Every structure is written in C-alpha cells, then in structure tokens.
Amino acid sequence: MRNNLIIIYGGSFNPPTLAHITLSKQLLNSLGAKKLLFIPVGDHYKKKDLIAASHRVKMLKLACKEDSRLDVNTIEIDTKTRLYTIETLDKLKKQYPNNDLCFLMGTDNLRDIINWRDWQRLINEYKIIIMDRGEDSLWKVLDDIPILYDYKKNIIQIPGLILSTINSTMIRNNINAKRNIGHLTTAEIIKYIRNEKLYLN
C-alpha cells in the first residue's frame, strides 16, 4: 500500500455523478493510494451551464461522506484567477509536501499536453494517470507523439478500469426534461439538487 500517494481529480463536477465516484474508488483501490482529492474549477472558469462553485463543493462533500479516502480541495475556487494545471499541482505540493501527487487526465488531454504551460516539468515532477477516451488509447498517443516516451516512467495506465458513460450533462438534461436521475448520481446529491432547485432552466 502506497500511503503517501494522493490522486488529483480535477473537473467541473456540475453535478458530481456516479461515474465520478465509482472511478475514484477504483483508482484508490488499484493504486493503494492514501487519498483522492476532487479539485472543482472556480467560478471564473467559463463553461456553459456551470453553477456556483459553492453548490458544486457541497455536492462533492456529500459524495465523499461514504469514503474517508475521498476529499474536496477548493484551491482553484479560492484563487482569484484561473490556474494552469502546473500551478495547481505546485500549490497542492506545498499543502502536501510529504506526498506523491498523481494527476488524472484522459488521452484527449495527453494529446494536447505539449501545448500546456511547463508541460515537461509537469510530466517530469508529477505522475500522470491516463484514462482512454473512446477508441483512443495511451499507446496510440505515444506512437503519435514520440517525445512523450521520454516521460513514460511517470505515466500510469490502470488496466481493467470499468468506465461508465454517465456524465453531468445527462443529469442536467434529464432534470430539464423532468426525467429520472436516480441512476445517475447519489440519493443525497439528488435531494440537494431538488432542495436548491438547481439546473432548472
């Protein structure tokens, strides 16, 4: 068990879904990690239908209640300007100096990583967990962008992950269409959404 490993899972979580939660638990169990931190984007992140960060944080905390290894970090919400990924990771490293940080991303982001700020330092100083997107795979990305082979020791792929097709857009669309969302997120999050009258356009 690698008790010093912390998984960093960024996103809008608008709202959190069963897919977010089940993936998180799979990652924790597969890597034997100490903790997984959800890092929700701040209100300055420009994305259609993005509700206030305060609501997204409260829903994430509801999702974390059932597993003490899950937690929410508001570092991107508490910063006045939008952070680059390397800046977020550097700030988190100061908060958790004795831990190895492992950043989760999809193959779509890995394909674009050479355009990210300080990408070489990011992939050299932090471990990256890669999730396949659709037909794409880590090996296809490495074949297409050979320079990434130099950083292969810090790129982690976990075989056998069960990836759900559930996403936050489905929940928002179902709420607008007055359809059931019981199979898409937890009962506590559903209750919160209803009480706060969220996602009603």
For the chain, domain boundaries = 2-162
DSSP symbols for the chain: -EEEEEEEEEE--SS--HHHHHHHHHHHHHHTEEEEEEEE--TTS--TTPPPHHHHHHHHHHHHTT-TTEEE--TTTSSSSPPPHHHHHHHHHHHSTTSEEEEEEEHHHHHHGGGSTTHHHHHHHSEEEEE--TT--HHHHHHHSGGGGGGGGGEE--TT-------HHHHHHHHHTT---TTTS-HHHHHHHHHHTTT--
Interval 119-165: pLDDT, tens: 999 999 999 999 988 889 999 999 999 999 999 999 999 888 888 89
| pLDDT tens digit sequence for 40-97 | 999 988 888 899 999 999 999 999 998 999 999 999 999 989 999 999 999 999 999 9
Could you give the CA distance from residue 65 to residue 156 in angstroms, rounded to a whole number? 27
Quick check: 201 pLDDT over 80?
A: no
**Cα distance between residue 121 and residue 103, in whole Å:** 13
pLDDT at 2 over 60: no
**pLDDT in the model for residue 31:** 94
Topology of domain 2-162, CATH: Rossmann fold (3.40.50)
Q: Widest CA span of the chain, in angstroms? A: 50
Contact between residue 14 and residue 168 where contact means Cβ atoms under 8 Å apart: yes
162 vs 196: CA distance, rounded Å: 32
Q: 1 pLDDT band (50/70/90 cuts)?
A: very low
